Amino acid sequence: MCEIPGSEDSSKIGYIKLTTFNQNAAGSVKEAIKKLRENNVKAFVLDLRNNSGGLFPEGIEIAKIWMDKGVIVYICDSRGVRDIYEADGASTVAASEPLVVLVNKGTASASEILAGALKDNKRAVVYGEPTYGKGKIQSVFALSDGSGLAVTVARYETPARTDIDKVGVTPDRPLPASFPTDEDGFCSCLRDPASCNLNAARLFVR
């Protein structure tokens, strides 16, 4: 929790750093939101920097935590859209509080899907640098000599129909390369905007 004097949205900002999408990721995010709310937090920062992904279903479930409606991701193949994942409000926990998402070139795969969904649905303001660009869905076929052949069978597209592969998610606003990667450094930066070129008072303004 960062206590920031002078913020327009809230003097208390909840900081959640998600490092991987394992089988407990969605539950951990829900628990973090609950604990931060108990401390009167009214706005959140979700840090996905250097999150290389993990379980696709967990990325979808975490998007549903922050969104009450809207497309999360399109699964496309050579014929077009094959599947659509959407939020329907059933799993929503925090769809109204101001939200910022932090990304960098280490943000990949499932974390790119999450960042793209929150950005394109205008649920969050995304800060950082373009993400890694890992948007292929591949299947591995065994060959007779014991080796394997990886074949791309589909791709991920964001709600705005941006092909994630090799392009990534472009943030709304940049962050300086030296921007702190830990919660203490992040809070210190917001308390002293001149030191990191980021103003807490306008943090959640698109």
Mean pLDDT (the chain) is: 90
Note the pLDDT of residue 150.
Answer: 82
> pLDDT-based confidence at 5, cuts 50/70/90?
low
> pLDDT-based confidence at 30, cuts 50/70/90?
very high
Question: What is the rounded distance in angstroms from the CA atom of residue 131 to the CA atom of residue 167?
Answer: 8
State yes or no: pLDDT of 161 exceeds 90.
yes
Question: Which among 7, 109, 111, 119 is annotated as catalytic?
Answer: 109
Question: What is the rounded distance in angstroms from the CA atom of residue 17 to the CA atom of residue 15?
Answer: 7
Note the pLDDT of residue 127.
Answer: 95
Q: What is the DSSP string of 47-68?
A: E-TT---B-HHHHHHHHHHH-S
Percent of the chain exceeding pLDDT 70 equals 95
Which is it for the CA torsion 3, 40, 46, 198, positive or negative?
negative
Q: Is 109 a catalytic residue?
A: yes
Question: What is the rounded distance in angstroms from the CA atom of residue 136 to the CA atom of residue 134?
Answer: 6
State yes or no: pLDDT of 163 exceeds 60.
yes
Phi, psi of 30 (to 5 degrees): -60, -45
Note the pLDDT of residue 101.
Answer: 97
Question: What is the rounded distance in angstroms from the CA atom of residue 64 to the CA atom of residue 95?
Answer: 9
Mean pLDDT, rounded, for 136-142: 83
Note the pLDDT of residue 7.
Answer: 53
Question: Which among 10, 64, 119, 134 is annotated as catalytic?
Answer: 134
Over residues 99-129, the pLDDT tens digits come to 999 999 999 999 999 999 999 999 999 999 9
> pLDDT-based confidence at 6, cuts 50/70/90?
low
Strands 70-77, 148-157: parallel, antiparallel or unpaired by DSSP?
A: antiparallel
Mean pLDDT, rounded, for 167-176: 92
Token pair listed for 202: 């306008």
Note the pLDDT of residue 181.
Answer: 82
State yes or no: pLDDT of 68 exceeds 60.
yes
Token pair listed for 112: 């790119």
> pLDDT-based confidence at 188, cuts 50/70/90?
confident
Which domains occur in the chain, in start order? Answer: 2-73+88-134+158-202 (3.90.226.10)
